[in-house]
Amino acid sequence: MTTAALHAVTALEGPPGPDLVRIRDLVYQVAGIFQPDNKLHLLLDRCGRRMKELKTASLREYFECLTVKPQRQAELVALLNEITIGETCFFRNRPQLDALRQVVIPKVLEAKSKVPLRRLRIWSAGCSTGEEPHTLSMMLLEEAHGRLKGWSIEILATDLNERSLAHARNAIYGAYSTRHLTPHFRHKYFIPAGEKLQVQPVVRGSITFSRLNLSDDGRMTFMKGIDIIFCCNVLIYFDLLSKRRVIQHFYNNLLPHGYLFMGHAESLHGVSEAFRLVHLPGATAYIKVNAARRESRRI
């Protein structure tokens, strides 16, 4: 198929076609990641890339590749990779980070105010090459002389992939990863490393990188006393049963007041009833159902 012909198939003009909507709904049903109507052109573009690779002529045929053909599992993973490509960068989801700083951290500190140990434990589960835990560390350092004065911060950053972890430990990043950095963060927390930037030791000091398979029930059991979990665009690759197991672990890993943050358009609907969605300014997160009930009784 020529590029022009493929463009004709995958150009979004007029209402989105039923095949694209079916692909959107399939991705949401299987992976839990949603593309709203205003982002459907991106999904269409990603499908177009895969269709070019597979030499598929129509979205209908591509939908069959995702649902009927023997290689459907691998194709779904390939499409998910296309959907989430380029999302790994510092300050990936600014509203989520602002909500963490302005609403969640104060609530967690309040919940822990009667506990003598002033320690905050945050887990970046599926940290890839480390942009997320480094971002979190920088955000929390900004509060070090404010509301986090006297608190020790532990950021646990885990991933399955050793190569990603090596990159994360090295903490040297190129222009693409650092594109959302404001001058303030760029100058305060990075030093030049050739044409790239390296994260300063003060940021790295609170982070522990380690290899962890989220499906490893034995090791997951030992992740205890966590205040906040970030697990963004990781569970989309898991089947429903595995996803449920991981979420159950997260439930056990989190302290009663704990928070679970997922990716920007990622949902736990149909996966777990142990967590409850809450709305934060410009973002969403999940809290434990029991905690939600306790909070409502306090009101």
Partner 1 sequence: MNPAATKANLLSRIDGLDRIPTMPAVLAPLLRYVQAPVEPLDGQRVTDMIVQDKSLAAQCLQMANSPLFGRHRIDSLRGALAGLGVHGVSDIAMSCGVLNLMPKDSGGKGIDPVIFWQHSLGCALVCRHFARKISYPDPSKAYLAGLLHDLGIIVNLRVVPKEFCEAYEFARARGIPLHEAEQAVLGFTHCESGRLLADKWELSNDLKEVVSLHHSLQQSNHAGLVALVELSDLLCRMGGLNYGYLENRQVNLFEQTGFAVLSQQCQSLKDLDWARLTFEMDSYLDPVHALVRTIYRT
Strands 172-173 and 275-280: unpaired
Should residue 174 be labelled a site residue for partner 1 when binding is judged by CB under 8 A? no
Strands 196-199 and 190-193: antiparallel
Should residue 280 be labelled a site residue for partner 1 when binding is judged by CB under 8 A? yes
Should residue 17 be labelled a site residue for partner 1 when binding is judged by CB under 8 A? no
Output the DSSP codes for 208-261. EEEE--TT-HHHHTT--SEEEEEE-SSGGGS-HHHHHHHHHHHHHHEEEEEEEE
Distance from C-alpha of 160 to C-alpha of 210, rounded to nearest angstrom: 9
Coil, strand or helix at 280: strand
Of 122 and 197, CB closest to partner 1: 122
Should residue 284 be labelled a site residue for partner 1 when binding is judged by CB under 8 A? yes
Amino acid making up residue 107:
K
Quote the least distance from Cβ 269 to partner 1, whole Å: 4
Amino acid making up residue 221:
T
Should residue 146 be labelled a site residue for partner 1 when binding is judged by CB under 8 A? no
| Binds partner 1 (CB under 8 A): choice among 71, 73, 102, 208 | 102
Quote the least distance from Cβ 250 to partner 1, whole Å: 16
Quote the least distance from Cβ 277 to partner 1, whole Å: 5
Q: Which stretch binds partner 1 (CB under 8 A): 56-64, 76-84, 115-123, 278-286?
A: 278-286
Should residue 87 be labelled a site residue for partner 1 when binding is judged by CB under 8 A? no
Which of 181, 241, 246, 236 has the alpha carbon at shortest distance from 213?
246
Of 209 and 261, CB closest to partner 1: 261
Should residue 139 be labelled a site residue for partner 1 when binding is judged by CB under 8 A? no
Of 118 and 293, CB closest to partner 1: 293
Distance from C-alpha of 236 to C-alpha of 267, rounded to nearest angstrom: 9
Of 140 and 280, CB closest to partner 1: 280
Quote the least distance from Cβ 80 to partner 1, whole Å: 16
Binding track over 223-262 against partner 1, x by CB under 8 A: ----------------------------------------
Sign of CA dihedral 76, 272, 281, 119: negative
Quickly tell me which residue has 């694209």 as its tokens.
20
- Helices 59-67 and 18-31: crossing angle, nearest 10°? 20
Instruction: Work out the number of other CB atoms within 10 angstroms of the CB of residue 297.
Output: 6
| Binds partner 1 (CB under 8 A): choice among 2, 3, 113, 296 | 296
Task: Give the binding-site size for partner 1 (rule: CB under 8 A).
Answer: 31
Quote the least distance from Cβ 78 to partner 1, whole Å: 23
- Residues between 20 and 79 that touch partner 1 (CB under 8 A): 28, 34, 36-39
**What are the start-end ranges of the E strands in the chain?**
119-125, 152-159, 172-173, 190-193, 196-199, 207-211, 226-231, 254-262, 275-280, 283-288
The binding site for partner 1 (CB under 8 A) comprises: 14-15, 28, 34, 36-39, 95, 102-104, 107, 265, 267-270, 276-282, 284, 287, 292, 295-296, 299
